[in-house]
């Protein structure tokens, strides 16, 4: 069983969570690696996934499309006078998934970020048809952003199997202390874990991920 990791926005901790998950799965004996179909800006996120996967795959295998501009894939590709071929990134995913037991696919930015003018991260996720995990920056406004993301995931016939609350803001934000309780009062929403700065591992069994038996 592989998973697609998305976020309620960019810079919410998708790579941090993905790397933690990969390391924890590998520590439990599962051959897990990361895959980031497109990266825009530096190589830091890709390198974090390569490192988490034990350097069993190259940068280019983990990330088949890289652009130097830190922008949406559509804009970054336009700046380099090219376009992204969705079939090529789908083929790259199939190749890496054939070599490993589990692939943790990290999306680009938020759920509806455009890859081409008529194809988004959500469209790519729908083609993969993997269970989705949503990383939420735990702050004021997170509930609205999360519910909009979940609504869009559901419209594409995909299953969101859990939310990951990432504590990246100062603890003085009152919403940080109430968001989880609010989410747990809503139907069909499940918080599977919370992340804190400096965290180095995950307790995967308590997350209850479908198809993952440790």
Catalytic residues: 36
Residue-wise DSSP of 164-189: EEE--S-TT-THHHHHHHHHHHSTT-
Task: Report CA Rg, the chain.
Answer: 16
Report how far apart, in Å, the C-alpha atoms of 11 and of each of 61, 137, 138, 157 are. Answer: 23, 8, 12, 26
Copy the structure tokens of residue 209.
């991920």
Phi, psi torsion values for 109, nearest 5 degrees: 60, -140
Q: Give rounded-to-5 percent helix, strand, coil for the chain.
A: 40, 20, 40
Query: What's the CA gap between 38 and 36, in Å, rounded?
Result: 6
Helix (H, G, I), strand (E, B) or coil at 131: coil
Question: Which residue in the block uniquely carries the two structure tokens 């830091």?
Answer: 44
Phi, psi torsion values for 83, nearest 5 degrees: -130, 160
């Amino acid at each position: 069983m592989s998973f697609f990791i998305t976020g309620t926005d960019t810079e919410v901790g998708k790579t941090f969570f993905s790397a933690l998950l990969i390391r924890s799965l590998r520590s439990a004996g599962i051959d897990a690696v990361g895959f980031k179909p497109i990266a825009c800006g530096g190589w830091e996120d890709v390198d974090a996934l390569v490192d988490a996967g034990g350097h069993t795959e190259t940068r280019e295998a983990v990330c088949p499309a890289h652009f130097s501009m830190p922008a949406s894939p559509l804009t970054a590709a336009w700046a380099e006078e090219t376009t992204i071929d969705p079939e090529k990134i789908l083929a790259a995913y199939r190749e890496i998934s054939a070599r490993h037991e589990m692939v943790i696919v990290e999306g680009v930015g938020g759920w509806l970020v455009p890859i081409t003018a008529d194809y988004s991260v959500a469209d790519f996720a729908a083609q993969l048809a993997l269970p989705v995990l949503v990383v939420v920056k735990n702050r004021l406004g997170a509930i609205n952003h999360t519910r909009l993301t979940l609504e869009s995931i559901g419209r594409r016939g995909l299953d969101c199997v859990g939310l990951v609350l990432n504590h990246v803001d100062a603890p003085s934000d009152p919403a940080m202390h109430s968001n989880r309780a609010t989410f747990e009062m809503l139907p069909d929403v499940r918080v599977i874990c919370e992340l804190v700065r400096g965290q180095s591992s995950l307790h995967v069994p308590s997350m209850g991920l479908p198809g993952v038996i440790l």
